[in-house]
Amino acid sequence: MRRVVTIGQTTAGGPAFLVIAGPCSVESREQLLRIARKVRDAGATALRGGIFKTRSDPRSFQGLGADAFPLVDEARGETGLPFVAEVTSPEQIAPLAAHVDMLQVGSRNMHNTALLKELGRQRTPVLLKRGLAALLKEWLFAAEYIMQGGNQDVVLCERGIRTFGDDTRNTIDLAGAVLARQRSGLPVLLDPSHGTGRPELVGPMCAAAAAAGLDGVIIEVHDDPAAALSDGFQSLTPGQFAGVVAGLRPILRATGRDL
Ligand code: PEP
Ligand code: MN
Protein backbone atom coordinates (compact mmCIF):
# COMPACT_ATOMS: atom_id res chain seq x y z
CA MET A 1 0.00 0.00 0.00
CA ARG A 2 1.26 3.48 -0.85
CA ARG A 3 1.49 6.03 1.94
CA VAL A 4 0.44 9.65 1.46
CA VAL A 5 2.13 12.02 3.93
CA THR A 6 0.51 15.36 4.75
CA ILE A 7 2.94 18.28 5.14
CA GLY A 8 1.05 21.46 6.09
CA GLN A 9 -1.48 22.00 3.32
CA THR A 10 0.33 19.81 0.79
CA THR A 11 1.13 16.11 0.48
CA ALA A 12 3.88 13.75 -0.59
CA GLY A 13 2.98 10.47 -2.23
CA GLY A 14 -0.38 11.59 -3.67
CA PRO A 15 -1.09 12.75 -7.22
CA ALA A 16 0.72 16.07 -6.71
CA PHE A 17 4.48 16.17 -7.33
CA LEU A 18 6.09 17.92 -4.36
CA VAL A 19 8.61 20.68 -5.16
CA ILE A 20 10.52 21.85 -2.09
CA ALA A 21 12.81 24.80 -2.77
CA GLY A 22 14.87 27.35 -0.87
CA PRO A 23 18.34 28.12 0.34
CA CYS A 24 20.74 25.57 1.79
CA SER A 25 20.82 27.76 4.94
CA VAL A 26 18.63 30.50 6.35
CA GLU A 27 21.07 33.43 6.41
CA SER A 28 18.97 36.52 7.14
CA ARG A 29 15.36 37.77 7.15
CA GLU A 30 15.73 39.53 3.80
CA GLN A 31 17.54 36.61 2.15
CA LEU A 32 14.89 34.10 3.24
CA LEU A 33 11.87 36.26 2.36
CA ARG A 34 13.24 37.26 -1.05
CA ILE A 35 13.98 33.64 -2.00
CA ALA A 36 10.72 32.31 -0.50
CA ARG A 37 8.60 34.75 -2.54
CA LYS A 38 10.49 33.97 -5.73
CA VAL A 39 10.29 30.19 -5.45
CA ARG A 40 6.58 30.37 -4.51
CA ASP A 41 5.90 32.52 -7.60
CA ALA A 42 7.82 29.99 -9.73
CA GLY A 43 5.70 27.06 -8.49
CA ALA A 44 7.39 25.65 -5.38
CA THR A 45 4.92 23.81 -3.14
CA ALA A 46 7.11 23.84 0.02
CA LEU A 47 10.10 25.78 1.36
CA ARG A 48 13.44 24.54 2.65
CA GLY A 49 16.15 26.26 4.67
CA GLY A 50 18.79 24.94 7.05
CA ILE A 51 18.67 26.26 10.63
CA PHE A 52 20.98 23.80 12.39
CA LYS A 53 23.47 22.66 9.75
CA THR A 54 25.54 19.49 9.56
CA ARG A 55 28.67 20.71 7.80
CA SER A 56 31.71 18.54 7.08
CA ASP A 57 34.09 21.42 7.97
CA PRO A 58 33.67 22.68 11.56
CA ARG A 59 34.94 26.15 10.53
CA SER A 60 32.11 26.60 8.02
CA PHE A 61 28.75 28.32 8.72
CA GLN A 62 26.76 26.20 11.18
CA GLY A 63 23.36 27.88 10.72
CA LEU A 64 21.54 30.65 12.62
CA GLY A 65 20.01 28.20 15.09
CA ALA A 66 17.02 29.47 17.10
CA ASP A 67 17.55 33.01 15.72
CA ALA A 68 16.06 31.68 12.46
CA PHE A 69 12.70 30.76 14.03
CA PRO A 70 10.97 34.18 13.68
CA LEU A 71 12.26 34.40 10.09
CA VAL A 72 10.79 31.00 9.28
CA ASP A 73 7.46 32.00 10.89
CA GLU A 74 7.38 35.05 8.64
CA ALA A 75 8.27 33.14 5.46
CA ARG A 76 5.58 30.52 6.16
CA GLY A 77 3.01 33.18 7.02
CA GLU A 78 3.70 35.25 3.95
CA THR A 79 3.88 32.47 1.37
CA GLY A 80 1.44 30.01 2.94
CA LEU A 81 3.92 27.24 2.13
CA PRO A 82 5.06 24.52 4.56
CA PHE A 83 8.69 24.64 5.70
CA VAL A 84 11.22 21.80 5.88
CA ALA A 85 14.36 22.12 8.05
CA GLU A 86 17.01 19.72 9.27
CA VAL A 87 17.15 18.44 12.85
CA THR A 88 20.58 17.35 14.05
CA SER A 89 19.94 16.26 17.66
CA PRO A 90 17.02 15.06 19.83
CA GLU A 91 16.95 18.31 21.90
CA GLN A 92 16.24 20.34 18.75
CA ILE A 93 13.07 18.41 17.89
CA ALA A 94 10.59 20.24 20.13
CA PRO A 95 11.77 23.79 19.40
CA LEU A 96 12.02 23.10 15.65
CA ALA A 97 8.65 21.36 15.47
CA ALA A 98 7.01 24.51 16.86
CA HIS A 99 8.12 26.43 13.74
CA VAL A 100 8.45 23.98 10.84
CA ASP A 101 6.12 21.48 9.14
CA MET A 102 8.63 18.71 8.39
CA LEU A 103 11.90 17.65 10.04
CA GLN A 104 14.75 16.56 7.79
CA VAL A 105 17.23 13.92 8.91
CA GLY A 106 20.41 14.74 7.02
CA SER A 107 22.60 12.22 5.29
CA ARG A 108 25.21 12.33 8.08
CA ASN A 109 22.56 11.46 10.68
CA MET A 110 20.75 8.62 8.91
CA HIS A 111 22.48 6.14 11.23
CA ASN A 112 21.78 8.19 14.40
CA THR A 113 19.34 5.76 16.01
CA ALA A 114 18.81 7.94 19.13
CA LEU A 115 17.55 10.73 16.85
CA LEU A 116 15.44 8.33 14.74
CA LYS A 117 13.79 6.80 17.83
CA GLU A 118 12.92 10.21 19.25
CA LEU A 119 11.43 11.27 15.89
CA GLY A 120 9.31 8.12 16.06
CA ARG A 121 7.62 9.51 19.20
CA GLN A 122 6.59 12.73 17.38
CA ARG A 123 3.74 13.55 15.04
CA THR A 124 5.77 15.85 12.77
CA PRO A 125 6.51 14.35 9.32
CA VAL A 126 10.13 13.35 8.69
CA LEU A 127 12.19 13.68 5.50
CA LEU A 128 14.77 10.92 5.80
CA LYS A 129 17.79 11.40 3.57
CA ARG A 130 19.84 8.42 2.52
CA GLY A 131 23.23 8.12 4.27
CA LEU A 132 26.38 9.07 2.35
CA ALA A 133 27.18 5.41 1.68
CA ALA A 134 24.07 3.63 2.97
CA LEU A 135 22.78 0.42 1.46
CA LEU A 136 19.11 0.48 0.49
CA LYS A 137 18.27 -1.87 3.34
CA GLU A 138 20.05 0.36 5.86
CA TRP A 139 18.04 3.36 4.62
CA LEU A 140 14.79 1.39 4.97
CA PHE A 141 15.84 0.15 8.44
CA ALA A 142 16.33 3.80 9.43
CA ALA A 143 12.77 4.53 8.26
CA GLU A 144 11.55 1.59 10.35
CA TYR A 145 13.27 3.01 13.44
CA ILE A 146 11.02 6.07 13.08
CA MET A 147 7.83 4.19 12.19
CA GLN A 148 8.26 1.64 14.97
CA GLY A 149 7.82 4.48 17.48
CA GLY A 150 4.42 5.33 15.98
CA ASN A 151 5.27 8.10 13.52
CA GLN A 152 4.23 6.76 10.10
CA ASP A 153 4.77 10.07 8.30
CA VAL A 154 8.14 9.30 6.73
CA VAL A 155 9.27 10.49 3.30
CA LEU A 156 12.52 9.14 1.86
CA CYS A 157 15.02 11.31 -0.03
CA GLU A 158 17.76 10.06 -2.37
CA ARG A 159 20.57 12.64 -2.29
CA GLY A 160 23.34 10.72 -4.01
CA ILE A 161 25.89 8.32 -2.58
CA ARG A 162 29.70 8.13 -2.58
CA THR A 163 31.21 6.34 -5.55
CA PHE A 164 34.54 6.46 -7.42
CA GLY A 165 33.31 9.28 -9.66
CA ASP A 166 34.25 12.85 -8.75
CA ASP A 167 32.78 14.74 -11.71
CA THR A 168 29.59 15.08 -9.70
CA ARG A 169 29.53 15.75 -5.93
CA ASN A 170 27.73 12.45 -5.35
CA THR A 171 26.24 9.79 -7.62
CA ILE A 172 22.45 9.72 -7.86
CA ASP A 173 21.13 6.19 -7.49
CA LEU A 174 17.91 6.63 -9.42
CA ALA A 175 17.22 2.91 -9.68
CA GLY A 176 17.79 2.60 -5.93
CA ALA A 177 15.31 5.42 -5.29
CA VAL A 178 12.66 3.69 -7.42
CA LEU A 179 13.36 0.37 -5.70
CA ALA A 180 13.12 1.99 -2.25
CA ARG A 181 9.73 3.41 -3.29
CA GLN A 182 8.51 0.00 -4.52
CA ARG A 183 9.75 -1.87 -1.44
CA SER A 184 8.66 0.56 1.28
CA GLY A 185 5.41 2.06 -0.05
CA LEU A 186 6.73 5.39 1.24
CA PRO A 187 6.96 8.54 -0.87
CA VAL A 188 10.46 9.11 -2.27
CA LEU A 189 11.93 12.47 -3.27
CA LEU A 190 15.12 13.27 -5.17
CA ASP A 191 17.63 15.93 -4.09
CA PRO A 192 19.46 16.73 -7.33
CA SER A 193 21.34 19.65 -5.71
CA HIS A 194 23.37 17.54 -3.27
CA GLY A 195 23.07 14.57 -5.63
CA THR A 196 25.07 16.26 -8.38
CA GLY A 197 26.58 19.41 -6.84
CA ARG A 198 26.12 21.05 -10.25
CA PRO A 199 23.32 23.51 -11.09
CA GLU A 200 23.34 22.52 -14.78
CA LEU A 201 22.38 18.94 -13.84
CA VAL A 202 19.48 19.83 -11.54
CA GLY A 203 16.89 20.24 -14.35
CA PRO A 204 17.74 16.98 -16.15
CA MET A 205 17.72 15.02 -12.86
CA CYS A 206 14.33 16.53 -11.88
CA ALA A 207 12.98 15.43 -15.25
CA ALA A 208 14.33 11.92 -14.62
CA ALA A 209 12.75 11.83 -11.14
CA ALA A 210 9.35 12.84 -12.52
CA ALA A 211 9.54 10.40 -15.43
CA ALA A 212 10.57 7.56 -13.09
CA GLY A 213 7.50 8.12 -10.91
CA LEU A 214 9.20 9.57 -7.82
CA ASP A 215 7.08 11.80 -5.60
CA GLY A 216 8.95 15.09 -5.75
CA VAL A 217 12.22 16.96 -5.54
CA ILE A 218 14.06 19.20 -3.08
CA ILE A 219 16.15 21.90 -4.71
CA GLU A 220 18.58 24.51 -3.37
CA VAL A 221 17.86 28.03 -4.64
CA HIS A 222 19.76 31.22 -3.78
CA ASP A 223 19.35 34.66 -5.31
CA ASP A 224 23.09 35.39 -4.95
CA PRO A 225 24.75 31.96 -5.17
CA ALA A 226 28.29 33.41 -5.13
CA ALA A 227 27.60 35.04 -1.74
CA ALA A 228 25.76 32.08 -0.16
CA LEU A 229 27.06 30.96 3.25
CA SER A 230 26.67 27.29 2.25
CA ASP A 231 26.34 25.30 -0.98
CA GLY A 232 26.15 28.33 -3.28
CA PHE A 233 28.10 26.46 -5.96
CA GLN A 234 25.22 24.02 -6.48
CA SER A 235 22.32 26.44 -5.97
CA LEU A 236 20.00 27.52 -8.76
CA THR A 237 19.04 31.17 -9.16
CA PRO A 238 15.29 31.82 -8.89
CA GLY A 239 15.20 32.27 -12.69
CA GLN A 240 16.87 28.92 -13.27
CA PHE A 241 14.49 27.33 -10.77
CA ALA A 242 11.47 28.74 -12.65
CA GLY A 243 12.86 27.14 -15.82
CA VAL A 244 13.19 23.76 -14.10
CA VAL A 245 9.60 23.87 -12.83
CA ALA A 246 8.32 24.86 -16.29
CA GLY A 247 10.22 21.91 -17.77
CA LEU A 248 8.65 19.53 -15.25
CA ARG A 249 5.02 20.37 -16.03
CA PRO A 250 4.71 18.57 -19.41
CA ILE A 251 6.47 15.48 -18.02
CA LEU A 252 4.12 15.38 -15.03
CA ARG A 253 1.07 15.87 -17.24
CA ALA A 254 2.23 13.01 -19.47
CA THR A 255 2.33 10.76 -16.42
CA GLY A 256 -1.10 11.89 -15.13
CA ARG A 257 0.23 14.24 -12.44
CA ASP A 258 0.85 17.92 -11.77
CA LEU A 259 2.40 20.16 -9.15
C1 PEP B 1 21.12 19.91 3.14
O2 PEP B 1 19.99 19.54 2.79
O3 PEP B 1 21.50 21.10 3.09
C4 PEP B 1 22.09 18.88 3.55
C5 PEP B 1 23.07 19.12 4.40
O6 PEP B 1 21.86 17.69 2.95
P7 PEP B 1 22.58 16.25 3.12
O8 PEP B 1 22.30 15.83 4.52
O9 PEP B 1 21.90 15.43 2.09
O10 PEP B 1 24.04 16.46 2.84
MN1 MN C 1 23.07 22.12 1.29
Domain boundaries, the chain: 5-51+61-252
Of the ligands numbered here, which is closest to the C-alpha atom of 52? 1
- Residue 54: per-residue pLDDT: 87
From first to last of the 259 residues of the chain, give the pLDDT tens digit.
899 999 999 999 999 999 999 999 999 999 999 999 999 999 999 999 999 998 889 999 999 999 999 999 999 999 999 999 999 999 999 999 999 999 999 999 999 999 999 999 999 999 999 999 999 999 999 999 999 999 999 999 999 999 998 999 999 999 999 999 999 999 999 999 999 999 999 999 999 999 999 999 999 999 999 999 999 999 999 999 999 999 999 999 999 999 9
Which residues, chain by chain, have CB under 5 Å from ion ligand 2?
A: 24, 231
Q: Closest ligand 1 atom, CA of 129? A: 9
Provide CATH code, domain 5-51+61-252. Answer: 3.20.20.70
Q: What are the residue ranges of helices labelled H in 47-173?
A: 69-79, 93-97, 113-120, 136-148
Distance, CA of 227 to CA of 242 (rounded, Å): 20
The Cα–Cα gap between 23 and 129 comes to: 17
CA 256 – ligand 2 centroid, Å: 31
